């Protein structure tokens, strides 16, 4: 498979750890924006980018989950954390833009957005909305419409930090540990994209530091699948 590009996000070091407590609290109300990293999703279908990366996502405002370090993100910790029910139907819901969920004392909203980059930046999403950026969990959902059934496809994911990903309700890709985002860092076993609607769901956990992810599907020859469409 030809490597099209590779991105590594720098970690925030000692300073992030020292300022973690203050930064993980609700930020001040200074005016901020999610631009230039995101634009609102439109009513028109959106194809993957030229390298097959999915850019249209429904992102949930961050769920507070304090962690002073990313080194705790072992497979057992991450699985236990993501299998905890934070809001009703979290593994089946197809959210709407502006839809609300309640997690403990947090009232959180879903946002339908297009990433302006091939990688999606939840840290910038949270910061731009004056939400906590550290010690959080991000949930992401997108719908992928395929014009045909595609067998022997694979989901290729990179994330900063740990994450888990599901296709049509089945666990497909797991990324554990303190890691930086690298495209195609983990690739699923062979799977089938249904003709018509497919649901991709992911969760990313972050302690101190930045957070982002990238997701695409590749075919049995390792080439990006580009003829997919994502409705709003």
List, for residues 10-21, the tens digit of each pLDDT value. 333 333 333 344
Q: Cα angle at 161 between 155 and 133, to 5 degrees?
A: 120
Contact 97, 232 (CB under 8 A): yes
Contact 123, 212 (CB under 8 A): yes
Query: CA 231, CA 52: separation in Å to the nearest integer?
Result: 16
List, for residues 158-188, the tens digit of each pLDDT value. 999 899 999 999 999 999 999 999 999 999 9
Q: What is the mean pLDDT of the chain?
A: 89
Is 1 a residue whose pLDDT tops 90? no
Q: Which residue ranges form the domains of the chain, and what is each CATH number?
A: 14-18+38-84+100-218 (2.60.120.380)
* Residue 29 burial by Cβ neighbours in a 10 Å radius (0-12, 13-18, 19+): exposed
Is 27 a residue whose pLDDT tops 60? yes
């Amino acid at each position: 498979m030809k490597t099209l590009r590779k991105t590594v996000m720098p970690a925030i070091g000692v300073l992030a750890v020292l300022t973690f407590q203050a930064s993980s609290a609700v930020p001040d109300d200074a005016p901020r924006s999610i631009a230039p990293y995101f634009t609102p999703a439109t009513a028109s279908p959106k194809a993957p980018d030229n390298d097959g990366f999915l850019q249209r996502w429904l992102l949930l405002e961050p769920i507070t989950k304090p962690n002073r370090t990313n080194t705790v993100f072992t497979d057992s910790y991450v699985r236990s954390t993501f299998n905890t029910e934070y809001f009703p139907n979290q593994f089946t819901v197809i959210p709407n833009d502006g839809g609300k969920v309640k997690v403990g004392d947090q009232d959180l909203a879903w946002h339908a957005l297009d990433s302006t980059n091939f990688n999606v930046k939840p840290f910038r999403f949270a910061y731009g909305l004056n939400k906590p950026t550290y010690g959080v969990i991000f949930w992401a959902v997108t719908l992928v419409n395929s014009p045909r059934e595609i067998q022997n496809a694979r989901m290729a994911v990179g994330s900063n930090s740990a994450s888990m990903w599901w296709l049509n309700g089945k666990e497909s890709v797991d990324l554990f540990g303190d890691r930086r985002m690298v495209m195609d860092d983990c690739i699923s076993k062979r799977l089938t994209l249904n003709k018509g609607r497919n649901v991709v769901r992911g969760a990313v956990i972050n302690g101190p530091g930045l957070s982002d992810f990238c997701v695409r599907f590749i075919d049995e020859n390792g080439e990006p699948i580009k003829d997919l469409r994502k409705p709003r």
